[in-house]
Structure 1
């Protein structure tokens, strides 16, 4: 394994991120004060510890880390695009992954922060003066906004299915990624120099801080952080993993500023069997016929590896004569011809 690799795909947690060299001069942001990153699992431990990255994926993850650039991961469904983010966070001990699922209605602000003026107005109506003045109680940073806080170590941000976004979002993201900062207008208009806001690591059910008024340690899930002059600027640029099923093309300027990698389906029965064994252990011993069936069917249309895992797990309860029919029902084509047999 080359010495320069920080993420190796070993699936064993280590401190390799400590060897990350300083950023290129054009990617140094220097946000302060430097915050301690939250501790804890990546959020999907089973998948993170069973994921088998390709050599290309390992190399491009490291390129993104060194260059402080977003990583655009493309490939068909079921190839582990999203899982890659959790695998990196697990191995490099980068804490919980910040997950931002994208739809056609998603806007840049959705990822940066949310402001709840109605709750604040309700508090004013009840004459809760301290609550009303503490505007940070009503602002929660989104996954992107939290990832861009001035952490000393990079956070991992998963921007899931960016190809489903509207036409403007990639360019809007490009601006944020180039600047490494953003503003919260509701805070820039205030006379007070700073405010404590909630982060995406906190409970999603309420914008309010814990009873300790935000004095909990930063690795407490509901921690608040201080934003000064309404501006958030990163210190360590996050590892941004953007996934795409290839449903659209992206602007050349966007692609030029990303590190890209394409994930492919397993290339043979042996690789498929190894994946099944990683996930299901001894159950894989009775799965050769299902692996063969999956591989044969995948030549005629798109199938996802998790369909095979579902079939292996379920078919162990079926009679031998029912396994093939049940497996075909569990493994319908995602694209391609309709299976008539």
Structure 2
């Protein structure tokens, strides 16, 4: 028997020297997220397996290690221009990942005798938009009713997108299992279209393989996810990086962090002074080793680096507001400062 070796899409792009896309849209708006992200080999392998198997990628790790940013970085590297983010809440309903229906507004409009088509009260959300966009308009036209009949961005050719479902462990207990059928089939039904002859999107086999949405799901592991859900995911854990890796992350991601703060960068991207990145990393690790109640992650460390650039200083005392989140951790930070200075 001959087995064809899988050569992953992401690893192939990296091997061929692909550059991250400069432009990326998050829920229809430009975003700087994902630029400067350093992809680990293990993460690349996990993404490739998820793409090949057509399964969601479940990414775990402590807060601030870059789980959410991974989805943005993959979209940039694969030249996928659209990413849809769904931030899960404790009150989230699985159906809201596909669309929302404003029943209250429709009732009000009905009372004023100005109610339009039911489609006028439907808003397609992250997973719903990704699935619709992967099909030719003609294949999903029955779902594009009311205001969606004209001006739907699906007028363009079918396209691929990335969906990030952020912090799924915050959701109600049944949320993950309620997604199983729709994510497995890449199809969903609009139950408010009962008289519609085709109230659901075509099944997965109708989506061209190269256009299938890539789904990245993040978890802080605050609670155990259902076994049935875990079986249908490819799993990857992002460990907290070592000292050398953290310094590389600071140097690579500083410009992006400043842009997200609204800082306009002309010419060469700003950098920390000689040795300052290494000193910041050393301080961050010493503070983490002191076991504060709220350990600083990569996100906090990048905020600290941006503070140093903004202050035009190499004095690490200015980073305290970025690294210390709880009053009771202040003494531990001062101890870490003394150790870093010795």
Please say if 1:170 is aligned against 2:176: yes
Counterpart in 1 of 2:220?
245
Structure 2 counterpart of 1:184? 190
Structure 1 length normalisation: TM-score? 0.71
Q: Deviations over 1:96-117 (max 9, x none)?
A: 2111100111011211211223
**2:78 — aligned with what?**
92
**CA 42–318 in structure 1, closer or farther in 2 if over 3 Å, else same:** closer
Aligned to 1:183, the other structure's residue is in SS state: coil
- Tell me the alpha carbon deviations over residues 227-250 of structure 1, each in whole angstroms, 9 at most, x when there is no partner: xx2112342442110001111111
Find the counterpart in structure 1 of residue 105 from structure 2: 119
Q: State yes or no: 1:285 paired with 2:292.
A: no
Residues 24, 32 of structure 2: 8 Å contact kept? no
**2:21 corresponds to 1:7:** no
What is the rounded CA distance, in whole Å, between the counterparts of 1:315 and 1:326 in structure 2?
7
Q: Give 1:325's aligned residue.
A: 317
1:309 to 302, 314, 333: 302
Aligned residues: 271
The offset of 1:53, in angstroms, is: 1.3
Instruction: Check the 8 A contact 2:99/2:122 in 1, yes or no.
Output: yes
- Return the alpha-carbon distance in structure 2 between the equivalents of residues 53 and 141 of structure 1: 31
TM-score relative to the length of structure 2: 0.71
> Which runs of structure 2 are paired with 1:60-209 in the superposition (5 Å)?
60-128=46-114, 132=116, 134-149=117-132, 150-151=134-135, 152-187=158-193, 189-190=194-195, 192-193=196-197
- Residues in 1 aligned to 2:187 and 2:270: alpha-carbon distance in whole angstroms: 49
Task: Name the SS for the 2:127 alignment partner.
Answer: helix
Q: Is contact 1:102–1:164 with CA below 8 Å preserved after alignment?
A: yes
| Gap regions ≥5 residues in structure 2 | 136-157, 255-268, 335-342
Distance of aligned partners of 1:262 and 1:339 in 2 relative to their CA distance in 1, 3 Å threshold = farther
**Residues 283 and 56 (structure 1), Cα distance of their counterparts in 2 relative to 1, 3 Å cut:** same
On the 8 A contact 1:181/1:232 being kept in 2, the answer is yes
Per the TM alignment, residue 95 of structure 1 is displaced from its structure 2 partner at its CA by 2.3
Q: Find the counterpart in structure 1 of residue 154 from structure 2.
A: none
Alignment RMSD, CA only?
Answer: 2.7
TM-aligned CA distance change 1:181 to 1:58, over 3 Å: same
Please give the secondary structure, in 1, of the residue aligned with 2:64: coil
Deviation string 1:1-29 (CA, Å, 9 cap, x unpaired) is x9812113566148xxxxxxxxxxxxxxx
Greater helix share, structure number: 2
Is the Cα contact below 8 Å between 1:11 and 1:90 reproduced in 2? no
Cα distance, 1:49 vs. partner? 2.3
Q: Give deviations 1:139-198, integer Å, cap 9, x for gaps.
A: 1122122222243444211000001111101111122223332211111x22x54xxxxx
Q: Distance in 1 between matches of 2:226 and 2:79?
A: 33
